[in-house]
Amino acid sequence: MTSNRVRKQALSSADTSSSLVVNQGTIDIDSATLDDSKSDFQQENIFLFWPNIIGYMRIVLAVASLYYMPLHPRTCSGLYSISCLLDALDGYAARFFEESTRFGAVLDMVTDRCTTACLLVFLSSAWPRWALLFQGLISLDLASHYIHMYATLIMGGSETSHKSVDRSRSWILNLYYTNKTVLFLFCALNETFFIALYLLSFSSPYLSPGLLQATNGAGSLSVESAKSFLFANPHSAAALEMARANKMDSFVPWLIAGISFPVMLIKQIINVVQLAKASLWLAQGDVEIRKKQGLPRHRKLK
């Protein structure tokens, strides 16, 4: 009897120890799995995702185009155009590699706004008569996109994309943001128009009379007699204007500007609609918040 009890105890202890080993092994496997998942999460660097790397390339190309912008129209326009075209590539890369991130969306938006603003700043100096218009376009572009992003974040939630615009809110914004072909054409032709204006500032003053206009009067100086004075300071506005003149023919820039102008105009109308709709959306949210807070309170008149 005693030997049988000893055998049973030994078997039970062996089973218990084996179960503990299995359980411990399971625990070790689970903990190892968790450790691997944590390490994978820690190793995933959002800043090195391919769409974001393309975004950094866009910034480098844009900065390079700004360097060549004052006196090298062909190099500048080429670099600037490549930077804009990469804007379409990063979206495809994000979908292909499944690397769509909120940081990437903001990086893309900020890069678009900054590059366009920099070009319009140059156009303000190249075409000072239209400086107020260019300043207005910069303000409209920044304001409409900022308030649209903010309204989407506050009213739609952090998981909602700024491109998710319901048709009931605005059919034109819905078409603009949901149709990739429409979005690409409008963005591309909008930038093309401003690039054409930039190239026109380097054309012949005889074909583009607004570039250089001789003034008549007692105190006026001719272009030839003023050259030595103007070029004494190569960084002056007048010297840069003289250096830009006659660098290229104006026929092609005028043609490009004429074709892209209607799309650019519609793009600005879309910006106005975007600004107005986002403002209304935020105002509706404010009304709901004030209702929940019991505002406005009816005060008794003494």
Task: Tell me if the bond preceding 296 is cis, omega within 30° of 0.
Answer: yes
∠ Cα 125 126 130 (to 5°): 75
Q: What is the DSSP string of 33-50?
A: HHHHHHHHHHH--GGGSH
Q: Dig out the tokens for 82 from the structure.
A: 């490549």
Looking at the annotation, which residues are catalytic?
A: 112
Q: Is 203 helix (H, G, I), strand (E, B) or coil?
A: strand
Length of the chain: 302
| Calpha distance 48→53 (Å, rounded) | 6
Q: Which residue has the tokens 């572009």?
A: 141
Please give the sequence-ordered ranges of beta strands (E in DSSP) within 152-212, or none if there are none. Answer: none
In sequence order, which residues have a C-beta less than 8 Å from that of residue 160 and are 6 or more positions away? Answer: 152, 153
| Calpha distance 291→295 (Å, rounded) | 6
| Calpha distance 122→274 (Å, rounded) | 26
Q: Dig out the tokens for 302 from the structure.
A: 């003494």
